[in-house]
Structure 1
């Protein structure tokens, strides 16, 4: 299959492009980092330097399917950028795929569920909006709507907490927080969530590319992970103190909200966005609110079974941060 992978110089897109190429597909990857693009080409991926805010049509000749991984994926930023990079880019790409009859697999996020109040075995059918707990979540949900309106046959994947080799976000951020000694213990009880090893996401995307299954699909490792026990485990690996000073989650979330307002008002430099605060309210909620997802649809319609168990994948990822 001739596949275009957007965001191939990023964490998930890079893993997907390399894995699909190794499986025998003809893969073209887009991105903005020529150095990472050169590394992709050494792995058998044709690289195109591209700004996706432009017309996607020149990227699509001879392409049979598109895996759209590119996104502004952060808990902090300006709405104009989230809207441009996540909503408008996704909408244009979906329309272009619809015109050409191309298969589209769109990567979204379970962050869209965060403001629903649901925490256990959340299904794809959960009512979402109009409130969202971050600009990122709001933009990704609007992107989903735009994709499915332009191309009803598209598959939309919602992988939760992607980690693994090449991760620059979740586990590295937690490692930095632990090393700084500034991370307090935010609950007196354990909080269970689900994560997704990057190869499990790539496996789900591969299945969605190969099978004509339309709609939204939750994706995780399928096993609940104790957040604070995992943080203690990471602290031990890093040989730094475990979080001990207790700060109630409500207090931390309130302080983060105040910080966000202050940072929003910070003028910054004329050519850069406002700086990111050391903590955000949505970041606090990720550590203090449980969430597990219902994988029934992915199992039944995609045939999804996680390839890598978190006991193996997570331990390897934690050890890599030593």
Structure 2
């Protein structure tokens, strides 16, 4: 199968492109980082630098399927950029795939559930919007609507908290916060959530490319983990103090919201050291219902968080 992987110079896109090429598929990877593109070429991926804001153009020539991983994936930024990179690009790509009869698998996010108030075994049928806890979540949900509007046959994956080899966001962000000593303990009780090893996301994406299943699918490791116990393990691996100073979550969120407001006074301001939506990820439990992915995609997590997290922490040591 000839497969186009967008965002192939990113964490998930790169892992997916290399895995698909290793499995014998003819893989085209797109991205903006030529240096990382050269590394993909060594892994059997044909790299084509591209800015998708102008549409996919000739990238779809001869392609059987598209795995759309490219996105502005951050908790900080301007709405115009989120809309352009997440909503508009997805809409253009979906229209092009629909016109050519190309299979589309879109990578979204369960962040769209964050403002719903649900925390346990959240299903894909959960009513979403009109309020979201981040611009990122709002843009990804609007992107889903655009894709479903023109390609009802598309598969949309919502993997929660992707981690693993090559992670440039989740664990590095937490590590920086621990190194800087600016992360207080925000709750006196343990908080359980779910993460998704990158290999599990790639496995789900391959299943979605191979099967004609349509709709939205939650993806996780299938096992909840204790957030604060994991942060303690991370601190131990980094040989830095564990978070002990207690600050009520609401107080910290209010301070972060105020800090964000100050930073937004300057359009070119960098991301604040803390954001309210980022703090909420550490204080609000969430597990996802995987029934639909198991039944329609045949999804079964291949990497257990016990092994996946242990490998990550061991590497940090």
Question: TM exceeds 0.5?
Answer: yes
CA RMSD across the alignment: 0.7
The residue number in structure 1 matching 2:13 is 13
SS of 1:124 mapped into structure 2: coil
Which residue matches 2:58? Answer: 58
2:266 matched to which residue of 1?
266
Gaps of 5+ in 2: none
Give the Å deviation of 1:220.
Answer: 0.1
> 1:55, CA displacement in angstroms?
2.5
The answer as to 2:303 corresponding to 1:303 is no
Question: Is 1:77 matched with 2:77?
Answer: yes
Aligned to 1:53, the other structure's residue is in SS state: helix
Which residues in structure 2 correspond to 1:89-104 (within 5 Å)? 89-104=89-104
Q: Which residue of 1 aligns with 2:142?
A: 142
Q: Report how many residues are paired.
A: 317
The equivalent residue for 1:253 is 253
Aligned-partner Cα distance in 1 for 2:312–2:293? 25
Q: In structure 1, what is the equivalent of residue 316 of structure 2?
A: 321
Identify which range, 167-176 or 77-86, moves more after superposition.
Answer: 167-176
Superposed displacement of residue 179, structure 1: 1.1
Matches for 1:120-139 after TM superposition, within 5 Å: 120-139=120-139
- What is the distance in 2 between the residues matched to 1:320 and 1:11? 17
Whole-Å separation in 2 of the counterparts to 1:177 and 1:160: 20
Q: 2 CA distance for matches of 1:93 and 1:260?
A: 33
* Alpha-carbon distance between aligned partners in 2 of 1:201 and 1:146, rounded to the nearest angstrom: 22
- Asked if structure 2 preserves the Cα contact closer than 8 Å seen for 1:172 and 1:321, the reply is no
Aligned partners of 1:48, 1:161: CA distance in 2, in Å?
Answer: 28
**Deviation, structure 1 residue 266:** 2.3
Deviations 1:298-321 (A, max 9, x none): 000000000111100111112222
Give the distance between the partners of 1:47 and 1:253, measured in 2 at CA: 42
Tell me the distance in 2 between the aligned counterparts of 1:304 and 1:227. 25
The equivalent residue for 2:23 is: 23
Match of 1:291 in 2: 286
What does residue 270 of structure 1 align with? none
Q: Distance in 2 between matches of 1:58 and 1:101?
A: 15
Distance 1:219 1:46 in 2: 28
Matched, 1:280 2:275: yes
2:37 pairs with 1:42: no
Please name the residue that 1:109 is paired with: 109
Alignment of 1:172-211 (within 5 A): 172-211=172-211
| SS of residue paired to 2:54 | coil
Residues of 2 paired with 1:246 and 1:94: CA distance?
47
Asked if 1:226 corresponds to 2:226, the answer is yes
Match of 1:159 in 2: 159
1:99 Cα deviation from its structure 2 partner: 0.2
TM-score by length of 2: 0.99
User: Deviation at 1:57?
Assistant: 2.6
Rounded to whole Å, the distance in 1 between the matches of 2:262 and 2:176 is 23
Gaps of 5+ in 1: 268-272
Offset, 1:66: 0.1
**In the TM superposition, what is the alpha-carbon distance from 1:100 to its structure 2 partner?**
0.3
